[in-house]
């Protein structure tokens, strides 16, 4: 929907539009899987330069694959392992310019070179993470992190088990 040039010049507008679309799609829908599926599709469609967009759900002490767009992915990731596991264990966003330089990176797709993972927190606990992968080095920046963190805040109550 957006090209890289548009995104680079007006990311705040892109994320306002994305948040509005996600709000409209998930408002009033109680099914967490349906909400995650629609938002994963929005992310993959709206954000240029991605090769994977989706969710991992917190179940016990690991993350379990949720709805996504892209190639088949790792199914289970222990908290603390890889970029997703680090985001879940620390309850903080992980913006990684070069995943091959990230200690313990789990390569579900060898084409991925940068990653942004944002925890979804409800009731003080990480209930899921939003995972974005790109084949481009340094694809994500602080504006992307801020936009996806706003999305995670919106979704916290809409995907809460």
In which band, very low, low, confident or very high, does the pLDDT at 5 lie, cut at 50, 70 and 90?
Answer: very low
pLDDT of residue 109: 73
pLDDT in tens, 54-110: 999 999 999 999 999 999 999 999 999 999 999 999 999 999 999 999 877 777 777
pLDDT in tens, 115-160: 999 999 999 999 999 999 999 999 999 999 999 999 999 999 999 8
pLDDT of residue 2: 47
pLDDT of residue 107: 74
Contacts of residue 40, defined as CB under 8 A and 6 or more positions apart, other chains included, come to 53, 54, 55, 66, 67, 68, 69
Backbone angle region of 109, left / alpha / beta, with phi > 0 → left and psi within -120 to 50 → alpha: beta
pTM here? 0.94
pLDDT of residue 105: 74
- Residue range 4-155 forms a domain whose CATH class is alpha beta
Tell me how crowded residue 128 is: count the other CB atoms within 10 A of its CB. Answer: 28
User: Which structure tokens are listed for 156?
Assistant: 């916290």
């Amino acid at each position: 929907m957006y090209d890289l040039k548009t995104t680079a010049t007006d990311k705040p507008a892109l994320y306002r539009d994305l948040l509005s679309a996600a709000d409209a799609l998930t408002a009033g829908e109680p099914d967490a899987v349906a909400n995650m599926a629609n938002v994963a599709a929005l992310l993959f469609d709206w954000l240029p330069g991605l090769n994977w967009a989706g969710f991992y759900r917190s179940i016990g002490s690991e993350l379990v694959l949720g709805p996504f767009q892209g190639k088949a992915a790792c199914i289970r990731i222990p908290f603390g392992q890889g970029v997703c596991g680090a985001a879940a264990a620390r309850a903080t966003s992980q913006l990684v310019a070069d995943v091959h330089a990230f200690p313990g990176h789990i390569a579900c797709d060898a084409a991925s070179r940068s990653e942004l993972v944002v925890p979804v927190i409800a009731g003080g606990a990480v209930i899921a993470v939003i995972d974005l992968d790109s084949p481009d080095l340094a694809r994500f920046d602080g504006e992307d992190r801020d936009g996806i963190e706003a999305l995670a805040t919106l979704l916290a109550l809409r995907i809460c088990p």
